[in-house]
A and B are shown apart, each in its own frame.
Chain A
Amino acid sequence: MRAVSEAETATTIHPWAVQAEALQVKAGRHLAVDGLDLALGTGVHGLLGPNGAGKTTLMRALATVLKPAGGQLTLLGQPVDGRADLRSVRRALGYLPQHFGFYPRFTVREFVSYMAWLKEMPKAAIPAATQRAIDRVGLAAKADARLKTLSGGMLRRAGIAQAIVNDPQVLLLDEPTVGLDPEQRLDFRELLRDIGTDACVLVSTHLVEDVAAACTEVVLVNEGRLVWQGTPTQLTAQGDASHAGDSAAERGYSAILRRSRAEAAR
């Protein structure tokens, strides 16, 4: 564990870790996120939505990769726009991109500690934090293996390890469960719940199951807008047997989507 600095404890006064108002983000020339309102606090939030709904674009904007094209975005109480100095926000950020780029010649430990260094963690704290992050994703046995020798699931876990190495207050995971086997997914849900007790975690996924099981809240977006926000229990209550899906959560998801599409068509 690392020492908690004054600046870090001071950031808890803001009500929402992530707050977006009428947010617009471009993906290329196309407005992939268009007028999205969102407020996320501590907990695990599952981001659901069909392909092309703007999930990844939203994640990239929250990760400060993309600059908002319009509206307001506040991370940890700090406005994110073209001019802001993002360093303090970025120090408290963890991000696993959909396409996780890595240095194939680095070992897991090297890459995670390199990321910790990029996140400007104090040098003395890096080795312990690296080990802890690798332990938490269950890669301890492979800690000194080169990344290019890892399987897809292991790589994904290495990606999660680098995202959580700095104990982020905002953790953004874009499709983290791709390539994980069922057992690892169970471990991963456990990890999410653990982190979600004192940080804001946003998990983008297509697996409604994961969301229902591990999230405290569900965020559903479609065509760049927030469609629905509620707890997993509320989600399951949305659907009935007439909706497509193999589980109550999936049926709820289908029901909300169908309703929103019907509204949009009107």
Chain B
Amino acid sequence: MSIVGIELRRSAAVGAALLAFAVGTVALYADTGRWAGGWIPMALTLREYTLLLWPLALAAGAWQGRREHRAKVGELFVTTPRSRAGRMRPVLIAMAATIVLAHLLVNVAAGVWIAGTAHYFPLAGFTVITVVGTLSLVAAAWLGLGLGRLWPALVTAPALGVAGVLVIFYGAIMKPRWAGAALSPVFGSGGFFRYQTIDSRVSAALAITMTGLAVTGLLLLVAGRPGLRAAAVLPVVVAAGLAFTIVPRDEATLLGPSDQRARELVCTDDAPKVCVTRIDQNVLPALTPLARQGLAALAKVPGGPTAVHEENYEFGRWDEIPRDNSVVTVSVGIDDHGGLANPDSVVHGVVSGLGVVYQEDCERDGAVERAAAYYLMGRRPVSDVGVVPGVIEESPEITTEAVKLWERLQALPSSEALTRVAAVRQALVDCKSPVGLL
């Protein structure tokens, strides 16, 4: 009968790990759409739920750390030759092993959901984020053990739980941002893009802080003399200082770092080219015919675009968006199962702007463009509500006006109508008002 085995059976470790597994899995599956797009999105979403798991591990540690005090075994145990550190080793191992396993199993449980669709698996990036997340949970559990021993009161565990939530929540949104990045295990979890990731230097800084925190917890747990216990604060201070020196300071790296390989476009071999970011490569087969259908509609007017690309902007580099009117840039949605979301909106998405890139300071007109686009698609214009994902209301006049213009186009011979549509497109390219051209 090994002692670690006894601790596994009789300590709070397994209960806490089961709870962590349940909380993590339920939280993830409550909204699979947030992370079904890929492995890094999944890791980042789970990182956000560290907001729940980290305080849970901390409180569980504190609950467990109080045990010797609660059971009043101190007098008996000091008469044994084994040192405090030796005595605590099995429970440290048990707490760490179960929380690591729980975190791993949450990843497995979520991974099953996306394994079939998420073809792009950035092993290094995913592993680093996940391992640092696991490390942060171990640090929380060990710190809890140490603090639970230091303040062996019943209220310590709930108080630490709430304190843990506040510290990592406000740590993640604190200014300066780089300090939050180095301190909070949930920092950077709210992404702007699916190809967003965590900068490796941020991960390294966080790993250092969390290791320091774990060592602090360890010292608090095993230290005998009060002096040594006071010194236990040193590891986390030193670690945080070290982390601050290596954490990047520029906003773009902190707020929206991209996984460049995930962001790269992957294209069809044959023309007309349809390209998506590598992280979305699994939806290319579904997207391609729809995108080409849109290109075919646009091809009815001369000089139309010849390729469709998924947008792959980078945070803080909006001004670097290429202005190439031979390429239509569309946003691609991923559904709850990792497949192409809203396939019905793809053709509309390609055609709606007549393949002309939006530019600031250029006048555009919703009704005219809608009438022209729907003419090319050969359908009667309808409201964007229910067609374009995310649009929940718009002024009905746009549709009324578009239908009026569209009916006028329908009445014309097709060559004349297409000439007018081409004029609208040319006006947009030239940055002129398209009003009155239909």
- Which residues of A line the B interface, CB within 8 A? 60, 63-65, 86-88, 90-91, 93, 95, 97, 99-106, 109-110, 113-115, 117-120, 126-127, 130, 162
List of A residues within 8 angstroms of B9 by Cβ: 110
Question: B residues 1-37 with Cβ under 8 Å of A?
Answer: 1, 3, 6, 9-10
Bound Cα distance from A86 to B73, whole angstroms: 19
What 6 A-B pairs have minimum CB-CB distances, sorted nearest first? Answer: A101-B72, A101-B73, A118-B80, A90-B81, A87-B81, A63-B79
Bound Cα distance from A127 to B1, whole angstroms: 7
A106-B6 contact given A90-B81, A120-B81, CB 8 Å threshold: yes
**How many B residues face the partner with a CB closer than 8 A?**
19
Closest A residue by C-beta to B5: A110
Of B3, B75, B78, B80, which is in contact with the most chain A CB atoms at under 10 Å from its CB?
Answer: B80
Bound Cα distance from A91 to B83, whole angstroms: 12
Question: B residues 149-180 with Cβ under 8 Å of A?
Answer: none
A97-B10 contact given A103-B67, A120-B81, A127-B1, CB 8 Å threshold: no
Contact at A113–B1, with CB atoms within 8 Å? yes
A130 to chain B, nearest CB (A): 8
Bound Cα distance from A7 to B250, whole angstroms: 64
Question: B residues 60-110 with Cβ under 8 Å of A?
Answer: 67, 71-82, 87
List of A residues within 8 angstroms of B77 by Cβ: 118
Contact at A99–B80, with CB atoms within 8 Å? no
Indicate which residue in B1, B72, B74 contacts A109 across the interface (CB closer than 8 Å): B1
List of A residues within 8 angstroms of B71 by Cβ: 101-104
Bound Cα distance from A91 to B82, whole angstroms: 9
Contact at B81–A110, with CB atoms within 8 Å? no
Contact at B76–A101, with CB atoms within 8 Å? yes
Contact at A103–B10, with CB atoms within 8 Å? yes
A28 to chain B, nearest CB (A): 15
Indicate which residue in A87, A102, A110, A162 contacts B6 across the interface (CB closer than 8 Å): A110
A156 to chain B, nearest CB (A): 14
A200 to chain B, nearest CB (A): 15
Chain A to chain B contacts (Cβ below 8 Å), 13 pairs: A64-B79, A87-B81, A90-B80, A97-B75, A101-B73, A103-B71, A103-B73, A105-B10, A106-B6, A113-B6, A117-B3, A118-B87, A119-B82
B71 to chain A, nearest CB (A): 5
Bound Cα distance from A80 to B103, whole angstroms: 48
Contact at A93–B79, with CB atoms within 8 Å? yes
Of B3, B71, B76, which is in contact with the most chain A CB atoms at under 10 Å from its CB?
Answer: B76
A97-B76 contact given A106-B10, A110-B6, CB 8 Å threshold: yes
List of B residues within 8 angstroms of A162 by Cβ: 76
Contact at B87–A110, with CB atoms within 8 Å? no
Bound Cα distance from A93 to B72, whole angstroms: 20
Question: Main SS of the interface on chain B?
Answer: helix
Contact at B3–A91, with CB atoms within 8 Å? no
List of A residues within 8 angstroms of B75 by Cβ: 60, 65, 97, 99, 101
List of A residues within 8 angstroms of B80 by Cβ: 90, 115, 118-120
List of B residues within 8 angstroms of A126 by Cβ: 1
Given contacts A99-B75, A119-B82, 10 further A-B contacts (CB under 8 A): A63-B79, A65-B78, A65-B79, A93-B79, A99-B72, A101-B73, A105-B10, A110-B6, A118-B81, A162-B76
Contact at B87–A101, with CB atoms within 8 Å? no
List of A residues within 8 angstroms of B82 by Cβ: 117-120
Bound Cα distance from A234 to B78, whole angstroms: 37
Indicate which residue in A60, A65, A95, A114 contacts B3 across the interface (CB closer than 8 Å): A114
Closest B residue by C-beta to A90: B81
Of A87, A99, A101, which is in contact with the most chain B CB atoms at under 10 Å from its CB?
Answer: A101
B89 to chain A, nearest CB (A): 11
List of B residues within 8 angstroms of A114 by Cβ: 3, 6
Bound Cα distance from A93 to B76, whole angstroms: 11
List of B residues within 8 angstroms of A118 by Cβ: 77, 80-82, 87
Contact at A119–B72, with CB atoms within 8 Å? no
Closest A residue by C-beta to B78: A65
Bound Cα distance from A243 to B71, whole angstroms: 43
List of B residues within 8 angstroms of A117 by Cβ: 3, 82
Contact at B76–A100, with CB atoms within 8 Å? yes
Bound Cα distance from A113 to B10, whole angstroms: 14
A62 to chain B, nearest CB (A): 10
A66 to chain B, nearest CB (A): 10
Bound Cα distance from A86 to B81, whole angstroms: 7
Bound Cα distance from A86 to B79, whole angstroms: 9
Bound Cα distance from A109 to B82, whole angstroms: 19
List of B residues within 8 angstroms of A64 by Cβ: 78-79
Closest B residue by C-beta to A118: B80
Bound Cα distance from A105 to B73, whole angstroms: 13
Bound Cα distance from A97 to B9, whole angstroms: 26
Bound Cα distance from A105 to B87, whole angstroms: 18
Bound Cα distance from A97 to B72, whole angstroms: 11
Indicate which residue in A95, A105, A130 contacts B76 across the interface (CB closer than 8 Å): A95
Bound Cα distance from A104 to B70, whole angstroms: 10
List of A residues within 8 angstroms of B3 by Cβ: 113-114, 117
List of B residues within 8 angstroms of A113 by Cβ: 1, 3, 6
Bound Cα distance from A65 to B74, whole angstroms: 9
Bound Cα distance from A110 to B1, whole angstroms: 8
Bound Cα distance from A162 to B6, whole angstroms: 16
Closest A residue by C-beta to B68: A101
A261 to chain B, nearest CB (A): 31
Closest B residue by C-beta to A62: B79
Of B1, B79, B82, which is in contact with the most chain A CB atoms at under 10 Å from its CB?
Answer: B79
B222 to chain A, nearest CB (A): 14
A91-B1 contact given A103-B67, A105-B10, A114-B6, CB 8 Å threshold: no
A85 to chain B, nearest CB (A): 9
Bound Cα distance from A256 to B87, whole angstroms: 45
Bound Cα distance from A117 to B71, whole angstroms: 18
Bound Cα distance from A88 to B161, whole angstroms: 41
Bound Cα distance from A103 to B68, whole angstroms: 8
